[in-house]
Structure 1
Amino acid sequence: MTFAPLAPRLGDRSLFPDLEARAYLAHAAISPPSLVARRAVIGLLGDYARRGAGAFGATIDQRDRLRAKLGALLNAQPGEVALVPNTSLGVTHVAMGFPFEKGDRVLCFLTEFPANVTPWQRAAELYGLELSWIDADLARTDPTRFLEEVDAVCARGLRLAAVSAVQFQSGLRMPLRAISDRVRAVGGVLFVDAIQACGSVPIDVEADGIDALASGGHKWLMGLEGAGMLYLRGELSKSMRPHLAGWISHQDAFSFLFQGPELLRYDRPFRTDAGLVEGGAFSAVGCAALEASVDMLGSLGVGNIHRHVNGYLDALERELVDRGFHSLRGAGVEQRSCILGVRPPAGDARDAPWWSRALAARGVVTSCPDGLLRFAPHWPNDLDRELPLVIEALDDAGAER
């Protein structure tokens, strides 16, 4: 099945014709699939419906393209990118496979999403590691003190720091390069959970000093749940231990299926690139949708998306503050992602979940993690069309008692 080309444009939601919300501001939770992604999925399913196993070779080629495109998004090489089902498994692969030694210290951050905490806690228990903690929100309220605390942890010896590029509640964009410089100065590495950044905030693994990174594809990358990526810096991937290996983790894993007899072996060496973590079959549908969505992001430019969304949030933030909401947005542009987290007005008994439900009932979809009301527009959102609708919904909900 073939379709006419579809071109994305900033502020144009015509590629989302079935989206019911008047203003969809929950891309930090789940992005709805565009027509481009949906057509990619339909095309893939059609190919499997026609050819069955004969379609598998095309999916191998498609995944090679996807790794290259995700690498370009990060300024990484294709061999440094692996496909994983979600952020959580990407974090777990690093936590379980990193060459830790007993007594190594790992720096974690309070207020992080649990996906970037639980695997490190498990690694600490299994491998005898020590965990140190710093409040991530200190990077917003007192950036100087935050880095002083990072320095203090590094002075005690540090093997790895695990931080999100963007904090999921407030939208705070973390100072990755400053953290990395301090961690690398004592021989450590920087791991980044980038699910709240990739696709809407520029990420450059070289410029940002990132050694490993994981991201699911269903938020700002605008793919589907079940497909994401793991980046491993080339030298790091060579030192990873295959503790979560599967049959595809081996070199020449497919040879016994397609190249004749006497090739079935169980002693093949493990891969030494990021593909080590691709242990078995995963979502072909998810990969097809993700590639189509990454193509859209590439055509728009992540930097352009970031500027577009922050123009939207600048105007929305003023309206919210005027109505008594407390903004947790970073003061400087370098601290800002595409998330605006706010606390409800002081003295108002109605909490963030109440406001999120009330706005949804009026056609404005938000989310409310950790007690904050979170607004997260993306490139299709149009300030001129939507801001009056959001203001109307806020005022109407505010009048409800």
Structure 2
Amino acid sequence: MTDPLKRRRNPLLRPDFVRLWCGTTASGLATWAMPFILGLAVLHGSLSAVGLGLVLATRTAGFLVAVPLGGLLADRHSRRSVVLWSGLAAAAASPVLAAGLGTSTALMAVAAAVVGVGQGACRPAFQALTAEVVAPEDRQQANAALTFSVRGVTFLAPGLTALLATVTGPGTLLLVTAALWLAAALLPRGGGTAPAERPARSPFHVEFAEGLTEARRHAWFLAGLGALTVVIALGYSATNVLLPLTSREHYGTEAVLAGALTAYTGGALAGALLVARWKPRAQGWWALFGLGLYALAPLSLVFPVGAVWVFAAYAVVGLGVELFNVPWFTAAQREVAPDKLARVSSLDFLFAYGFAPVGLALIAPAAQAFGVQNVLLACAALCVLAPALAALAPGARDFRTRRATPEHLRG
């Protein structure tokens, strides 16, 4: 029989967390659906390929600009209000994006930038809001539920978009994303006040520097963020650029590409379920080990080893990524000062996603200059080396910051 205290503490049974989970899921679905919808617009002839690139680029630019700003605002004001206004901004811009289809690519680019701003501003606010509505002992389970929804969205969004496209057009689908953003804005509750009272507000650059100082206090965080940045910029980018190429050259079909990405998502879903309950000793080292498993992705592409082995490698990679993600988010919520959590989380998203376009831009020229196999082997080696070096940082064993003052003496 289930312990009633555990049932009461279970975040999945708490209305405030369920609303937050639904809001993050809605924002994720809107985020992942938008590129597919715009791709359909290219097929329909209402958007050119050049226009597609421009619109997606301005959305990315808006995201990268808004992530640090969103972190500052979420620490300065209510996290709930930042989620509200960022979601409303994306919801308001989505119909404008639809109106620009077939008429004005410039209008679409401006609207996409606003959508990107809303997307970027809500990410650190959602992260900090989770820490407000979930008790510390339940955050790992809550973060696993959130990351499970993210992976589920990546799995379902393309199929749902394609299915809806059989009965309606891209413009209507963009209006559906507006409704999703509206749900993301209105559903979450909690966090009605700023996380800490301050005697006076400092200029934005000073408060941003405070976030950097807080991040530097946690050596494991800086080391882990460096490893994550390397893995995403090199490993993730290499497989995204070179997986389609090797799929065609080694196997003569693009089905391996689709199968590998599906296996990755399936592994990530399994990893989220596993880490929801599993709390091993030296959890930080286990998390970094999981991150290092990303090396299997480029390694599986070096030689034509068979499609089944590629699928297996990508499934293990997906599982390993979630072994890292959930403890990483949970540790940040536990160790970082509550009034600086959103700013530190914004650094996480900024570095992890900000350098990915650099890797995407450099991988193809590097493959032409040094050969595809050499680039894949180098990326695999760095995906192992970066987490291994991060594991040597103080506090990396458990993702805990060593305190100068004993816990019971802290005021």
Q: TM-score, normalised by structure 2?
A: 0.28
| Greater strand proportion | 1
| Greater helix proportion | 2
